[in-house]
Amino acid sequence: MPSSDPLAGLNVSISQGSTTPPTIVATVKNNNPHLVTIAAYQSPFDGLILETGNLSIVPGGAASDGNDSDNSSSNNSTAASKPLSYPTIALKRAWPPPSDSLVTLGPGESRTAEIVIRHPVPVRQLGSSATVKLSGHWMSVWKRAKEEIGDADWDDVSNPDEFSGVYESNSLEILIAKSRKIPIFITTAILGGTIYYFSSPSKPTLLNSETFIPYTITSREAISPTSFIFTISPHTPNPSLPYLTPSTSSWRYPLWSVEFKQPQVQIARHYTPLPPQSLEDPADGSLRFYVRAIGGGEMSTYLSRLGVGHDVWLRGPHVGFDVTARLGAMDNIVFLAGGTGVVPAMQVAKAVLEKNSDAQVNLLWAIRKREELQRVSSPVRRPSWWQFWVANSSEPVELHSQFQDPSPIAQQLRAMKTTYGQRLRIQVAIDEEQTQFREADLQNAISGVQDRRLLANRSITGSGCRLHDSELLQLTSEFETPASVDDCKCGHGAGKNLFMVSGPDGFIAHYAGPKRWLGGQQVQGPVGGVAAQLQRRYPKLADDWLVLKL
């Protein structure tokens, strides 16, 4: 029986964001009692919504400062009552839509997008005000989380969970500020004062979690044709960086990220900074990121096109799981990372190994091609790296301190291996060489810990603890405030070993089960996939290990 239509439960409204440049804030609210996933194409989340002509603009103010005759005024009034005509474009979009162009809204959740009225709209013809209205077509709305939509679903035209139809916002009168002309004959002193008055910043210029601030790309190093490491530095030096422990050059959090903004399409994505290298001074405010451009990915493609000297916009820090508090008296982390998901693993390894001399981290890194790991002349093409369990695969590569010809990201991993020695083990599975991490590999990584440490250092945890209760963890977001002493209800000596998974949605779902939407935010959800199979086979794992999905 067909599902009820969720389109009636989607409300689109617009409000004014700023007058210069004139900016519209579109808000989509999901009033349905269930989550929905929206394909951004032609929706208010489409970064090209202006260029495709979905915003109707009726000029409402005088576009000229001159004195018009009565006849001219009448003509202008008639013209102003009609929507402004401006050039639009027809687009051929990638299909199916890439995963990062899908927006999932939980029940009651709202999401906003900014629409800046700029070229190709002739803004000067608008005058001092205009009436705007947003209308378009929901190309694809699903009653599923985006992780549950497969490629085959897009080809099924009769799928009962997919809907399409029109949407329309309220009409809104907006004000448009005119730029003031400064006479060319004013004195230098007056000019300086005038410029300060009109250009003095009204928003923060230092990194914060509310507003985006500019950074400049200062270096860029290619790893492969689609991946690179780039370094950025803030425009304004900050003597009190929010991600450093006060009066030190040490990172405050074991796991954290920032958001990058794509100003052309008004979307933001989280990226995790690489931990600082031995000769770097974190106090200078520079940050490094490992990025891979994904076909159809708006943000990664945007970043891949920027070179040294270009600006990017950041906000943060956004604090992730308090790993050290959850680890507590235990010492062991097994971290399974896919692609650029290795960066959170590097953050965690550095934080834990530096804090606890008994800690051990086993890092399992799955990549598509050897060039991500090692400089090679002729990489081999293989199927997608998250297509697991290929028969007759060889063993993963061991990255040791003498590893030859490392890629830029592997150089930092090798340096970490040299620093931490036997306490850090790094294995790499390469899809093009038919190596994957199987259930047996995960079992060996965990059982090795069991043999070495667990009998001598059993976890002691109680129910109801925010940090260590696996049932409560299912309802927890990966973004949380750092733990306090009172957050652990388990008593002295509490802790759990950690099995962590980071990477693309399909990678996480396969190994640990998909994350879920609850109350407008994404939460951990129950343990599934390979991790759940191991827990069923070895019940002690559920007691002694927490599974964390990033």
Would you list which residues are annotated within the binding site?
Answer: 269, 271, 299-300
Give the CA dihedral 368, 373, 378, 381, nearest 10 degrees. Answer: -10
Burial of 542 (0-12, 13-18, 19+ CB in 10 A): middle
Burial of 492 (0-12, 13-18, 19+ CB in 10 A): exposed
Which of helix, strand or coil describes residue 391?
coil
Which of helix, strand or coil describes residue 255?
coil
Rounded CA gap, 426 and 367, in Å?
13
Sign of the C-alpha dihedral computed for residues 349, 352, 353 and 358 taken in this order: negative
Rounded CA gap, 299 and 94, in Å?
15
* Nearest alpha-carbon partner for 191 in 201, 202, 183: 183
Alpha-carbon radius of gyration of the chain:
27
Q: Which tokens in the block code for residue 259?
A: 């958001």
Rounded CA gap, 141 and 447, in Å?
44
Annotated binding site for FAD: 269, 271, 299-300
Contacts of 160 (CB under 8 A, 6+ apart): 1, 2, 3
Q: How far is CA 108 from CA 32, 34, 63, 170, 477, in A?
A: 7, 9, 41, 19, 17
Helix and strand totals (H; E) in the chain: 12, 23
Which phi and psi angles does 330 have, rounded to 5°?
Answer: -85, 170
Unique residue bearing structure tokens 């970490």: 416
Q: How does DSSP classify residue 60?
A: -
Our CA angle for 329, 332, 333, nearest 5°, is 125
Query: How many Å separate Cα 396 from the centre of its chain?
Result: 29
* Nearest alpha-carbon partner for 446 in 547, 357, 524: 547
Which of helix, strand or coil describes residue 286?
coil
Unique residue bearing structure tokens 């009172």: 486
Rounded CA gap, 426 and 365, in Å?
7
* Nearest alpha-carbon partner for 143 in 167, 109, 107, 169: 107
Rounded CA gap, 83 and 59, in Å?
7
Burial of 172 (0-12, 13-18, 19+ CB in 10 A): middle
Rounded CA gap, 445 and 180, in Å?
67
